[in-house]
Amino acid sequence: MSGSLIFVVALLIFVVVTLAKGVRILPQGEEWIVERLGKYHSTLKPGLNIIIPYLDNVAYKLVTKDIILDVQEQEVITRDNAVILTNAIAFIKVTDPVKAVYGVTDFAEAIRNLIMTTLRSIVGEMELDEALSSRDKIKARLRESIADEAVDWGLTVKSVEIQDIKPSESMQRAMEMQAAAERERKAAVTKAEGEKQAAILEAEARLESAKRDANAQVMLAEASAEAIRRVAAAVGDQPGPMMYMLGEKYIASMERMGSSESAKVVVLPADLQETVRGLLARGKMA
């Protein structure tokens, strides 16, 4: 192979390489940063782009589509000294590639760390119950807090979502014990209230029973007194009918007492007639 042929081949290779270095075709959703002699020169857009080979250099290739950043789980201490675990996910978009590459070393890591520190600050101002029930509030404050910093870095924070927020394992055990104690307390209160109501109802029942017994005794006494007055009025001064009635009652009583196994001795008044006269006299006095 002659020297001229080698030169031609080398020249062709140089031209091909030069053209390859000078022509850049970018896909949709990407933008490239071009530096000329180490200094920012231009930003290449999607499509066909021409640069000066050997002078221009593609220093950074950025994705302008939405970027998903997963923020790792971390422990956060609330205002009432409770430990909770929380993590988040952020959706960002590069709106100014120059600021994104020259404003911060690693914009993705910067946003991730900014979200973590801001999240700790926001949750640290809340108590445990408020933090667990205020996910939307935390999300709104978090996005608002990091928006300004993101703009300085050529980024737009489209959304920040709290993936999970929960008490730590030790806090969960403490909360379970507290809930169990609260359930036991409520059960004890309910039982005490039931016993109290039962005692009140029982006392009211005894009071009502005593009132009814007293009324019954009064009515029986009144009925007995009325019966005695009527008998005394009917008999008058004649003791015969009364003695006859008492005799029947005595005989019936003696029959019942005699048939009982536990009572074998019957005591009768010495003078039945005098007893009857005394009863009649009392009945008239009444």
Distance CA 144, CA 157 (A): 9
Angle formed by the axes of helices 239-259 and 169-235, to 10°? 140
- Mode of pairing for the β-strands spanning 67-77 and 39-44: unpaired
Per-residue pLDDT of the chain in tens (286 residues, 90 and over written 9): 567 778 777 878 887 888 878 888 889 989 999 999 889 999 999 999 988 888 888 899 999 999 999 988 888 888 888 888 888 999 999 999 999 999 888 899 999 999 999 999 998 888 888 888 888 888 888 888 888 888 889 999 888 888 888 887 766 677 667 777 887 888 888 888 888 888 888 888 888 888 888 888 888 878 777 777 776 676 666 666 666 566 666 666 666 766 666 655 555 555 555 655 555 555 445 5
**pTM, 2 dp:** 0.57
Helix (H) or strand (E) holding 87: strand 83-94
Distance CA 29, CA 62 (A): 9
Angle formed by the axes of helices 272-285 and 169-235, to 10°? 100
From 17, 66, 22, 24, select the one nearest 47 (Cα to Cα): 24
Alpha helices in the chain (DSSP H): 3-22, 97-102, 107-124, 128-133, 135-152, 169-235, 239-259, 272-285
